[in-house]
Structure 1
Amino acid sequence: MRSIFVVLASAIAACTSVLAQGTANMRTHSISMPYIDDELQNRWFDFAGNTIINTNHQIRLTSTKQSQLGYLWSRLPLMGDHFQIEVEFKVDGNSGHLYGDGFAMWLTKQRMTEGPVFGSVDRFEGLGIFFDTYDNERAHRHTFPYVMAMLGDGTQSYNNDKDGSDSELAGCEADFRAKGHPTRARLTYHKKNYLQLDLMWRTEDEWDLCFKTHDVVLPEQIYLGFSAHTGEVTDNHDIISVVTKSIPPAAVEAAPQAPKTVKKSSGSGVLSVLFKIICAGGLVGVLFVGYRFYDQRNRMKRF
């Protein structure tokens, strides 16, 4: 019981520090080496399944073995309307092998519930971002690896056979797998304003905008999590570090408007055709009158 009070007191102190400073690291939702304490636990995160903690390297959600499942979840809900989460991760495996399936980053009301969506529960409520390395449908217009976001309402299902394409909020192509330099994702959220994901995968310290979407509202109580699974195809799915920050609110942006297409009414189309016919008829009439006049003058000259 005493340990619970200690955890709650630390969480309250961390939240107070965040509110006072406006921008500050949130220890309750950040994790780095060596990841665990002397009791082989982490104060702020739970891990389970096939997850392996290597205190000098990474949190390995799955290894290159079939039918594995692992996850890492925050113990406390992520509070605040404006925050930024930066994750360093690594996805790789044996060279030349058929690899998959990828891993997921979660901001959802559910936590630590195993399921078919990258190792976590389906029909979730909140945000799922999927770092997908295996093409199940083979009919997409984009290549893989692919990073996709889905905003779940608790009833909508993620379609594994279509790689979630029918429920995609936003996404981008990003060849983040098997890189020789750090790969990172940076998620920025401003409530009732916008959600933005930037990725570092081309080279170190070079960020690419993956997507920016407006008017996104997450549930009031969400937990931060990461999960991965393997089936017949496998990969190492590693979390190296997570840094979560409270950030000041950004200026409210209006969602970009889609360009409007002006449809011509059928009536205006008919009038346009009639006008062209009249013009053509008038031109033929002028040419005919001119020809008759020219022919008549030639005849008068002969006499």
Structure 2
Amino acid sequence: MLYYINIIQLFICFIHLVSGQSQWNTRDFMKREHSLIKPYYGSGIDIPFWHFTGTTIVTPNYIRLTDDSQSKRGTIWNTVPVTSRNWDVQVHFKVHGKGKDLFGDGFAIWYAKDNLIDGPVFGSKDLFQGLAIILDTYSNHNGPHNHQHPYISAMVNNGSLSYDHDRDGTHTQLAGCEAKFRNFDHDTHISVKYERDVLTVSTDLENKAAWKECFQVKEVRLPTGYYIGVSATTGDLSDNHDVMSVRFFELDLDNDVDAAEDRSKIIPSASYFEAPREHVEDPKPGMSGIKIFFLMLLGSIAVVTFVVLGIMFYQKRQEKSRKRFY
């Protein structure tokens, strides 16, 4: 009797486990033409439905966009335009490197009109049209919009806005959250879900097979026909930026009243899309103690020299004055 009870308990645990996993990573509607999973290779070194540029290398276990060295830039882009209106892109990634306190720059997940174009925005094109989810590891901003890094943010662009690296994109972002995703030994995942014009970005950074919401933005309008991509870059600081998988899920929604709307020609926008703020330079940093010391030292030497020269000049005048009386 005890044996059968244990079997039943084991079966119940299995059901709970399966339901929990499905809640985290539903596979019912995964579209193979927009997904990137192992084994990566097709015929030769090509990956079906995907192209890569820059420093990207393909290995049996991961796709490395950049290695942990300076001034690298790599991208990988899906070559099939997305026709789904509602979707969820889940990326299994790993960012790691030897840097403990200084590292960079980061990577971005794209839903953009133009693909396979290298550029300065984490390895891809500036003035893009579409959506960028930016995972920024390097902070070079000390102004009033400061936040801790690594940091995840979203930017929707109609092609007219330039990403401001000096401000970490805070002047054009829709939303963001701090997320410590570097140098984990376990798997790290991010979900970018676009459902009924609501953008929700979630992460699984704790290896719990459960999504934790990072941020949500309503009334985001994105057209169909754009491309999925991932890009990364390094500068003076560096990291390994690896992609293990990209899974694209088409969301089949009940009672979607706008399902018949043609979304192929709309312009990317968001309800509270902020106008770009004026770029104001950070105040120049104050001088260090060593610089102040040397400046004071040079000033003191100049004063002493001036006093000595003054005394010498005065003495010579006194001598000339005495000679006139003899």
Among 225, 229, 233, which residue is 2:229 paired with?
A: 225
Q: What does the per-residue CA deviation read over 1:9-28, in whole Å, with 9 as the maximum and x for residues that have no partner?
A: xxxxxxxxxxxxx9511111
> What's 2:244 paired with?
240
| Deviant stretches of 4+, over 4 Å | none
Which segment is superposed worse, 26-35 or 201-210? Answer: 201-210
Q: For 1:196 and 1:95, how far apart are their aligned partners in 2?
A: 31
TM-score normalized by structure 2?
0.67
The alignment covers a number of residue pairs equal to: 230
User: Deviation per CA, 1:204-252, whole angstroms, max 9, x where unpaired?
Assistant: 3242101111111112321000001111100000001011111122678
**Distance between the aligned counterparts of 1:238 and 1:91, measured in 2?**
6
Judge conservation of contact 1:61–1:238 (CA < 8 Å) in 2: yes
Question: Which whole-Å CA distance do the structure 2 matches of 1:108 and 1:221 have between them?
Answer: 9
Shift of 1:85: 1.0
After TM superposition, the structure 1 = structure 2 runs for residues 206-217 of structure 1, keeping only pairs within 5 Å, are 206-217=210-221
Residue 136 (structure 1) aligned with residue 140 (structure 2): yes
| Structure 2 partner of 1:203 | 207
Query: Is it true that 1:151 corresponds to 2:156 in the alignment?
Result: yes
Question: 2: CA distance between counterparts of 1:48 and 1:33?
Answer: 19
Cα 1:250–1:169 change in 2 (3 A) is farther
Other structure's SS at 1:117 match: coil
The reply on whether 1:163 has 2:151 as its aligned counterpart is no
Q: Which amino acid aligns with 1:36?
A: Y
1:63 alignment counterpart: 67
For structure 1, the 5+ residue unaligned runs are: 1-21, 253-303
Q: Which position in structure 2 is the counterpart of 1:103?
A: 107
In 1: Cα distance, 2:28 partner to 2:158 partner: 30
1:249–1:42 distance in 2 versus 1, CA, 3 Å:
same
TM (norm. structure 1) is 0.72
Partners of 2:222 and 2:38 in 1: CA distance: 29
DSSP 3-state at the match of 1:76: coil
Paired residue type of 2:88 = Q
Identity of aligned pairs, percent? 38
**Counterpart secondary structure, 1:61:** strand
SS in 2 for 1:66: coil
| Whole-angstrom distance in 1 between the partners of 2:43 and 2:225 | 30
User: How many angstroms apart in 2 are the aligned matches of 1:157 and 1:95?
Assistant: 29
- Within 1, Cα distance between the matches of 2:70 and 2:202? 31
Q: Which amino acid aligns with 1:84?
A: D
Letter in 1 for 2:120: P
Distance 1:137 1:187 in 2: 26
Residue segments in structure 2 that go unaligned for 5+ positions in a row: 1-26, 257-326
| Aligned Cα root-mean-square deviation (Å) | 1.8
| 33, 39, 44: which one aligns with 2:44 | 39
Q: Deviations over 1:96-143 (max 9, x none)?
A: 362100000000001011111001010100000000000021234421
Question: What letter is aligned with 2:69?
Answer: K
8 Å Cα contact 1:108/1:219 also seen in 2: no
Distance 1:213 1:250, change over 3 A: farther
